[in-house]
Amino acid sequence: MDAHQQDTSNPFGMDEDCENCPALCESRTQVVHGYGDVGADFVFVGERPGPGADETGVPFTGDPGSEDFLAILRRLALCASPADSVEPELENAFVTCLTRCRHPERPPTDEEVVTCEPYLNAEIRMINPEIIVPVGARALDEIAVEYTTTPAAEFDAVDDHATTIRGRGFELVPMIDPGEQTEEQTQAFVEHFSELMASDYRQTKGRRSR
């Protein structure tokens, strides 16, 4: 953890009563901001809070798909807690989503993603990671638009899974939604990311002081 970090849940004190998207306010249990190590080199970005996160307030927790995700982080030594933990102990990793509220019957609209974008951009700016991991196709599309010079339509979450993409100030390592991965795809991601962690990845860009 960063030496100056006080909390892992919503460590930047973002608005927990946000009402910018009326349709989501009516359906959510709570606002789910980012969680984890604010000094992290690795930021994992999903599309929206899962059904478990809507209850726990922590991204990627509380449901089977989240357990699959945390199991991957455990294999990478980025999580020291059981995969079913609702307050996982993360080391050098921060987890967040494009949008902060969940509608139980549909994915977020483009307008809702844009409305939530300042939250995500602020987290990324303050953490200043080395690697961003878009989790799922929607996250890859949105992150690619913001942080690469390549048209988002040229990326594919399956084809680009477990590869490294040069971005603007960051590198991206796309991940297929863990609940949709085959064992071979999971193994490919773990192997690629392990190799990346063992490399001189910090030389990809200059680090700003925090």
For residues 74-82, give the mean pLDDT.
97
pTM: 0.93
Rounded distance, CA 208 to CA 41, Å?
12
pLDDT class of 173 with cuts at 50, 70, 90: very high
For residues 161-189, give the mean pLDDT.
95
What is the pLDDT, as a whole number, of residue 152? Answer: 82
Are 133 and 72 in contact, with CB atoms under 8 Å apart?
Answer: no
Neighbouring residues of 76: CB distance < 8 A, sequence distance ≥ 6:
190, 193, 194, 197
In this predicted structure, the answer to whether residue 18 has a pLDDT above a threshold of 90 is yes
What domains lie within the chain, and their CATH numbers? 30-198 (3.40.470.10)
What is the pLDDT, as a whole number, of residue 4? Answer: 56
DSSP alpha helix (H) spans, the chain: 22-27, 51-56, 64-75, 110-127, 137-147, 183-197
pLDDT class of 1 with cuts at 50, 70, 90: low
Are 172 and 143 in contact, with CB atoms under 8 Å apart?
Answer: yes
For residues 76-99, give the mean pLDDT.
97
Rounded distance, CA 138 to CA 144, Å?
10
